[in-house]
Amino acid sequence: MKERITITLDSELIKQIDKRIDGTIMKNRSQQIELLLTKSLGTYRPEKAVILVGGKGTRLRPLTYKTPKCMLEIQGKTLTEHLFDLLKKYGIRDIIMSVGYMKEKVKDYYGDGSKFGVNIEYVEEDEPLGTAGPLKLAKNMLHDSFLVTNGDELKNINIPRMFGLHKRKDTLGTIALTTVTDPSLYGVAKLSGSRILEFVEKPKPQEAPSNLINAGFYILEPKVIDMIPDGFSMLEQDIFPKLAKQGSLRGFPFAGQWFDIGNLERYEIAKKRWGGISLHDENE
């Protein structure tokens, strides 16, 4: 619930606030002031993140015959360490890793997270559970808004801005959306403002409703976990369409780098082009 208030500010402060209004995510002074206040009070981000690293990485064979996909290296760090960097940049250090394929190797390498500056707990998939199933295993650990990220992508997202949108719209789910040149290979978001109406799967280029695709990075509310069926289930097919139908799904377009490490060709591209996570640039 929001309340209207009147405040008096120095004109120079107002100029600085106005410079941060981008007309898309931040549309007015009230929204920007709210973001600045939540950041100063330490409530501008979720407290926990779930990283999904249970997949076999079959399209990355032979590299993944002996090495879990999440432990493949990009510029001297494993894929998961780059995700740690993103989360740590915004003060998120409590992480749940969902492990399956070669789970003992993953757990041995990352341990409790202390050597990476994070705190790691694990949920274990005895059989593949998709992108939604593991969240049911972690239900007792997730009591407030939380992040979920695929473990086979590199991404640079301004989490406070995304969280600000999520909270302002009082929604159950917010999906980070990245822009691609050819959307015909992906599920493409159809939007009304920030509201996601649906995802159109692999449309013809001339029929795509936008160039915005699911970037595999979400902010969800605990209520979403209650919607997940037992066993294998996918957020993309089983949960997000329901949220969209309810009007409870939002999209957050971002301009930062994004790489899908889904196959050998994309892995090689990411190794060359990934720019890493800057601790100082908050304009992604």
Active site residue ranges: 202
User: DSSP string covering 84-136, please?
Assistant: HHHHHHTT--EEEEEE-TTHHHHHHHHTTSGGGTSEEEEEE-SS--TTTHHHH
Count of beta carbons in the 10 Å neighbourhood of residue 184 = 13
Specify the 3-state DSSP secondary structure of 247. Answer: coil
Torsion sign across C-alpha atoms 242, 216, 100, 89 = negative
Cα separation, 219 vs 159, whole angstroms: 9
Specify the 3-state DSSP secondary structure of 258. Answer: strand
